[in-house]
Structures are given as structure tokens and as C-alpha cells.
Chain A
Amino acid sequence: MPRVGPEGLPRLLAGYRPDGPIGLQEHVAQYGPPPWRGTHRHGGPLIDAVEASGLRGRGGASFPTGRKMRTVAQHRGRSVVVVNGSEGEALSAKDRLLLTSLPHLVLDGAALAAEAVGADEIVVAVDRASRRALSSVHRAIEARRAAQLDGALVRGVALPSRYVAGEETALVNFVNGGAAKPTFTPPRPFERGVSGRPTLIQNAETLAHVALIARYGPDWFRQLGTPDEPGSTLLTIAGAVEHGIVCEVALGTTIGAAVTAAGGATGALSAFLVGGYYGSWLPADEAWDVPLLNATLQAHGASLGTGVLYAFPVGHCGLVAAAQVADYLAGETAGQCGPCVYGLRAIADAMASIAAGQQVTAMVERLQRLFDEVRGRGACNYPDGVIRFVDTALRTFNAEVERHAAHRHCLLAPPPAMPIPVFDGRWQ
């Protein structure tokens, strides 16, 4: 029988302390040991519980976690669990926070998922630029090994700091000794992944939710959120807000309420970037009352993604900001697929031209052609995400596009610098 879970929020962040990671002893004192349930070839009680909870992946794609677990469990032979802590999304900080401060919550989820799908190996993949998260994970793995807590063998892996390194096939290819670049599918990782074995890849936050669902049950999980999109989620709130933070909210919280949780906006806002660089721009007045749910965000051309909310201030040029980010994103191609390599560069160049007020009308038309020409033609979905970013920037800052066309230069103040990671360029 599940234990009675705590009411309300926070859930994942209940044990969070700013002064350092929660060690194994303290973690077990708070939550008890992982409630092992055993392995069942076609899904055991934990998979049933996760399916009943309605949990969806928090890494961007919002895929039903229980269904993914069941698919891996049904494949023949011993499988592998990969904790995806790459967080290639430059604006997102929530997985890094979990791995740094609450590593055992994530590792409990991974160990429980491993048991449920019949995996004897767990790989925890963390961006190698996130040094604190890496060392915290390594210490946590050591402590669990000394305590002989987990059945599966657990190891940490430091990933190249590239946007697409966390894409599932890229992650698998890197763990298998190759470059952190996407590979052609099929096979998908759940069929043939790490060491050629069926592989369950779950985002770090998703597994932390699994650790709590295993203890408190699906009904507890559903006490927050909506019937279709239950539970809580971590958000990274940044940009023109008083306190850039990672916080935990119930799904269905409005964008405005989330901004208020971050101390409110520093001034009038013109737009939000929802979901990060792999997400969508929305006009601020349209976005404010929208609940953070994929169902409602989709109606506005957006999705929850990795839970990033970036607030953009009035009086600054969103086109210049979007052009800078588009240039960075074009450079983050893995360099494998022609339409991605040449298409994203052409898109970024056209956007730079619009931002500078040069050939604006012609470049807007060229962008529409490029979007149609490039969309859906990469081996992975990376180019599609960049297209969505630029396309929604053009729509959201449409009034500014017209002013750039009319005046042939930008009349607004330069934008606040959006975070552009400096990467080491190595894929191996």
C-alpha cells in the first residue's frame, strides 16, 4: 500500500536546501528506502502506477512515461536505463538543480524504473559543463554503491555541451562510444540502444516524479494538475522578472501566476518565450492568462517543452534578440543533414537581415519558403524546433517587422542579452 503523500507544493523540491546536496542518509530519513516492487515481463505494479498517474516526460516531448516504460519492458533481454540530464536547452536550469541538490530523488526514480523494466544497468548522463551537478551525481552514486542500495550497476557519464547531445539517439550514440550526434532511425533506442539493448531514456525530472509516484501512488500524483495533464512541474523563469528562479507549480497554473511566483515582472512585458529556445514566442498580453498545459498552449502555437518561461521587456527589439539566438541555434546543428546545415544558416542569415532592417519584405518571404523547404527533413527534429522559434518570433514581433521594413533600421533599444552558451565544439 502506498504511503500517504504530502499535500500541496512543493513536491520534488520539498527537501531542497540551498546550502548543498541532500545526502543519502538524509534522503532516506525523509522518504524511506525505494519501495521495490519487482520485475514483470509485461509491466509490473510500478508501470501500472506510472500509467495510472498520467505522468508525461518533462524533457520536452511530453510523452506518456508509463507507456514508454511498458514498451521497453516488453522487449526481450536485459535493458538499460539512461537518465537524461543533458539539459541542452540553454535557458533551462531545473534538471541541473535536481541533479545538484536532490540527486537521490532522481537516482531512486532511475533505480525503480530499472527494476520495473528489467534493466541491470543505469547510465546517468550530465552535461560536462555542469560541474557541480556532475560531482554531486558521482558522490551520490558512490554512496548508494557503498550502501548496496541498488540492484542495477549505476555509472555517470559527462556529455558534450551541445544542444542536440540530449536527443535520444545522440545520447545513445555517445554512450556507445560515438559522437553525441543523432543517428538515423529506426532502430529507436527502446528497440536497440545502449550496447544494442532495449533502452529507456527518461529526463531527470521525470524520474524524480517516478520516485514519488512509487511511494505515494497515482491518486496522490493526480491531486495537482488537471485530469489530462496531472501533477506538478518544474519551471525555469528568466528574463525581465525580479528573481530568475527554478520553481515548482501545479500544471495548469497560468503564465501570469508563474511570473508572480518569480517576484513579478521588472516592467511592462512585450512577449514570453515559452519552452525555451526549442519553444515558441507569444505576445505577453495573449500569454498572461494561459494555463501551463500542453492542451491550452497548443491553441497558441506553443507547448510546455522543458518548462522555460522567458519574459521579454517592452521597448526592446525582439527581432534583434531572435536573430542572435537563431545564429547560435544554426551553429548548434550536428552538421550531418544538408537541409539542417544549410537551411538553418540561411534562416539565421535572413533573420539577421530583418533585424538590421535590410531587405525586410523579401527576407520575410524567403523565410516562409525556407520554413516549408527545411521542415521535417532532418534525421532528428532539431531543424523543426529552430523553425518554430523563428516563425513565432516573426508573428509575435510582427509590428516590429513592419517598422523595420518602413524605416530600414531598428528604432528600439537593443535587447537584453539572452543567454548564449559558449560551447567547446567537441562532439566526442
Chain B
Amino acid sequence: MKKQHRLIVNMIECEAHGVCAELFPERVQLDEWGYPIIDDEPIPPALLKHARRAVQNCPKLALILTDE
């Protein structure tokens, strides 16, 4: 089985800086208070670069890319 990557957020750490939505608009939207809404779909290889960039640049390190 090929590994599947998903993006999840630790909502306890998140402080709504919104960097994730800026760097990965393909999969991250913000709610009316600025917190990320991320769907649970696996991220296709073509988008992984953007996902990793969002993870690395979150000021609270609240984004996690899983590979199960």
C-alpha cells in the first residue's frame, strides 16, 4: 500500500495566523474567525510540496502532515 498523506491541525495550538490558507489555498480555507478548515481527503503527490511549505511556515507549528 502506498502511503497516504493527510493534513491535520492541532486546534489547541492554532492561533489563526492564516499562513496555511495563504500557502496552501488548494486545501485550506478559513472560517469567519480565521481558523483553518481542512478537508480529510488524502493529498495527491502534486500538492505535497505546497502542503509541506504550509506545515513548515505555521508560526505555532500547529499543522501536521500524516503519512499512514
Residues of A within 8 A of B (CB): 182-184, 336-340, 342-343, 373-374, 377-379
How far is it, in angstroms, between the C-alpha of A184 and the C-alpha of B12 when the chains are bound? 7
Identify which of B10, B15, B32, B35 contacts A184 (C-beta below 8 A).
B10
28 interchain pairs, CB-CB under 8 A: A182-B12, A184-B11, A184-B12, A184-B13, A336-B11, A337-B11, A337-B12, A337-B14, A338-B14, A338-B16, A338-B31, A338-B34, A338-B35, A339-B31, A339-B33, A339-B35, A340-B11, A342-B32, A342-B33, A342-B35, A343-B33, A374-B31, A377-B11, A377-B35, A377-B37, A379-B10, A379-B11, A379-B12
How far is it, in angstroms, between the C-alpha of A338 and the C-alpha of B18 when the chains are bound? 13
Identify which of A182, A338, A378, A379 contacts B33 (C-beta below 8 A).
A338
* Min C-beta distance of A112 to chain B, whole Å: 35
What is the count of residue pairs linking A and B with beta-carbon distances less than 8 angstroms? 42
Q: What are the 6 tightest A-B residue pairs by CB atom distance, in nearest-first order?
A: A337-B11, A338-B35, A342-B33, A336-B12, A184-B10, A379-B12
Contact flags (1/0) for B5-34 with A, using CB distance below 8 Å? 000001111111000000000000001111
Identify which of B11, B15, B16, B31 contacts A373 (C-beta below 8 A).
B31
How far is it, in angstroms, between the C-alpha of A322 and the C-alpha of B15 when the chains are bound? 30
How far is it, in angstroms, between the C-alpha of A336 and the C-alpha of B14 when the chains are bound? 9
Sample of 10 more A-B contacts, CB < 8 Å, known A183-B12, A336-B11: A338-B16, A338-B31, A339-B35, A342-B32, A342-B33, A343-B33, A373-B32, A373-B37, A379-B10, A379-B12
* A-chain residues with CB within 8 Å of residue B12 when the two chains form the complex: 182-184, 336-337, 379
* A-chain residues with CB within 8 Å of residue B37 when the two chains form the complex: 373, 377
How far is it, in angstroms, between the C-alpha of A197 and the C-alpha of B60 when the chains are bound? 28
B21-66: which residues lie under 8 A (CB-CB) from chain A?
Answer: 31-35, 37
How far is it, in angstroms, between the C-alpha of A339 and the C-alpha of B11 when the chains are bound? 8
Closest chain A residue, CB of each to CB of B14: A338
* Min C-beta distance of B47 to chain A, whole Å: 22
* B-chain residues with CB within 8 Å of residue A343 when the two chains form the complex: 31, 33
How far is it, in angstroms, between the C-alpha of A300 and the C-alpha of B4 when the chains are bound? 36
* B-chain residues with CB within 8 Å of residue A184 when the two chains form the complex: 10-13
* Min C-beta distance of B5 to chain A, whole Å: 17
* Min C-beta distance of A379 to chain B, whole Å: 5
How far is it, in angstroms, between the C-alpha of A266 and the C-alpha of B32 when the chains are bound? 45
How far is it, in angstroms, between the C-alpha of A272 and the C-alpha of B47 when the chains are bound? 49
How far is it, in angstroms, between the C-alpha of A342 and the C-alpha of B35 when the chains are bound? 10
* A-chain residues with CB within 8 Å of residue B34 when the two chains form the complex: 338
How far is it, in angstroms, between the C-alpha of A378 and the C-alpha of B11 when the chains are bound? 6
Closest chain B residue, CB of each to CB of A342: B33
Closest chain A residue, CB of each to CB of B10: A184
* Min C-beta distance of B40 to chain A, whole Å: 9
Interface-central residue, B11, B13, B16, B32, by most chain A CB under 10 Å: B11
Interface-central residue, B10, B14, B33, B37, by most chain A CB under 10 Å: B33
Closest chain A residue, CB of each to CB of B38: A377
How far is it, in angstroms, between the C-alpha of A322 and the C-alpha of B14 when the chains are bound? 30
* Min C-beta distance of B65 to chain A, whole Å: 15
* A-chain residues with CB within 8 Å of residue B10 when the two chains form the complex: 184, 379
* B-chain residues with CB within 8 Å of residue A377 when the two chains form the complex: 11, 31, 35, 37
Q: Would B11 and A338 count as touching, CB distance under 8 A?
A: yes
* A-chain residues with CB within 8 Å of residue B35 when the two chains form the complex: 337-339, 342, 377
* Min C-beta distance of B17 to chain A, whole Å: 11
